[in-house]
Structure 1
Amino acid sequence: MRNISIFLFLILVGCKDESKNKSEIGTENQSEMTTEIENEIDQSVSEMWNNFIQSNPEFKNDGIPESDFFHNNEKDANRLAELTLTGKKRASSGLYSLYQQYNADLPSVGTKQIVTDFNGNAKAIIENVSVDTIPFNKISKEYAELDMGTDIEPLEKWKKAHWEFFENFLKESGQKPTEEMLIVAVEFEKIWPKNE
């Protein structure tokens, strides 16, 4: 499954397709394709995934998950990667209409992703634990706190940041955000590296 991530605020806007599962690759070309995929991604991503499956051998047959950074600029991408690494950021939000526009699959529970900094260096592996569709004006303070990684005015900060981001993105197609626009609210947990 390939998620088109560009339209997700604070969730994986690098738009790389590194999620090819080994079971999807023909056996004759498997090693060639695997090598090609590994060459397209930062070495730290492969190393992090290999370390994870060494400690969790039940996932050894899973393909390497997508790896991307949060947000659309270096400063925020690096800050959000650190918040994810420390466990403070545990949610991300996307605009439902953009999934429809790009005919993309919604995130699903159980999907793993490798969070990187802006330069593609692996920071953490996360796994989706909850996916919901919620109107913008119904986002809770608790959810905003998980998404923003702070307990200082989280809902106000979430609304301001997301409204501005969605407004800028929708402007390109001549649309405007509304209080009722649907948000794909994804909660995740950091599964690697383990907390010491």
Structure 2
Amino acid sequence: MRPISIFLLLILVGCKNESKREIGTENQSEVTTETEDGIDKSVSEMWNDFTESYPEFKNDEIPESDFFHNNEKDANRLAELTLTGKKRASSGLYSLYQQYKADLPTVGTKQIVTDFNGKAKAIIENISVDTIPFNKISKEYAEMDMGTYVEPLTKWKKAHWDFFESFLKENGNEPTEKMLIVAVEFKKVWPKNE
């Protein structure tokens, strides 16, 4: 199951917003407690807490756990935006799904979002999956993905273009305005809002 996590790291990208606040710095000095398979213990603890409150999911397999983006600062910031409910979407490059022969995300699939160090922060569930050309992404979708109302579409386009361009260039390809984006909307299902 880890190859899919690596793939998700490549495609689930968030972008920088106007916030300069460091998020998750208190976790950086903590010692990681891992399970036998190298996954932080907090992941199984969060899933257990969730299934105690929602026993209908007790027999479900624990979902994949992963973080958004490809660096610690952004991964921790995006985990916090997910936890607060500001980030409610993620964007992947359709051609990467094809390249890695990976299944597209599906509605109803859950994921445990972690910080960069693998500490569980939230459980999300996909509520919508669509493929949309890059140049047809809406301002509303960009707001959900970026977690901000300040110039979300401009920020989304710049950050995602740059991010996708770096992956495409590795294979000798270039981004285009019509490249297909896998647009996933999700809702946070755990922890519950206070």
Q: Is TM-score (shorter-chain normalized) higher than 0.5?
A: yes
What residue is the counterpart of 1:45 in the other structure?
A: 43
Asked if 1:7 is matched to 2:5, the reply is no
Partners in 2 of 1:41 and 1:102 — Cα distance?
23
Q: Is there any run of 5+ residues in structure 1 with no aligned partner, and where?
A: 12-36
The partner residue of 1:112 within 110, 113, 138 is 110
CA distance in 1, matches of 2:190, 2:12: 22
Q: Which runs of 4+ in 1 moved over 2 A?
A: 1-4, 37-40
- Say if 1:9 and 1:165, in contact at 8 Å, map to a contact too: no
**Count of aligned pairs:** 172
* CA root-mean-square deviation: 1.6
Equivalent position to 2:174, from 163, 166, 176: 176
The one-letter code matched in structure 1 to 2:157 is K
Q: Given residue 190 of structure 2, which amino acid in structure 1 is its aligned partner?
A: W
- 5 Å-filtered alignment, 1:17-56, equals 39-56=37-54
> Helix, strand or coil for the counterpart of 2:60?
coil
What's 1:149 paired with? 147
Aligned equivalents of 1:128, 1:180: Cα separation in 2: 24
Letter of the structure 2 residue corresponding to residue 5 of structure 1: L
**Structure 1 residue 9: deviation in Å?**
3.6
1:102 aligns with 2:100: yes
Measured in 2, the distance between the counterparts of 1:39 and 1:181 equals 37
- Give, in whole Å, the separation in 1 of the partners of 2:9 and 2:62: 20
Structure 1 residue 88, shift from structure 2 partner: 0.1
Structure 2, unmatched stretches of 5+, are: 15-34
Aligned partner of 1:69 in structure 2 is: 67
User: What is the aligned partner in structure 1 of residue 88 from structure 2?
Assistant: 90
Letter in 2 for 1:45: V
Q: Secondary structure at the match of 2:104?
A: coil
Task: Determine the structure 1 residue equivalent to 2:77.
Answer: 79
The amino acid that maps onto 1:108 is T
The alignment-based identity, stated in percent, is 80
Summarize deviations over 1:94-147 as a string: whole Å, max 9, x none.
Answer: 000000000000000000000000000000000000000000000000000000
* Deviation (angstroms), 1:38: 5.4
For 2:8, give the aligned amino acid. Answer: S
Is the aligned partner of 1:164 residue 2:162?
yes
Identify the match of residue 122 of structure 2 among 124, 135, 159: 124
Residue pair 2:13, 2:160 contacting (<8 A) in 1 also: no
AA at the equivalent of 1:121: K
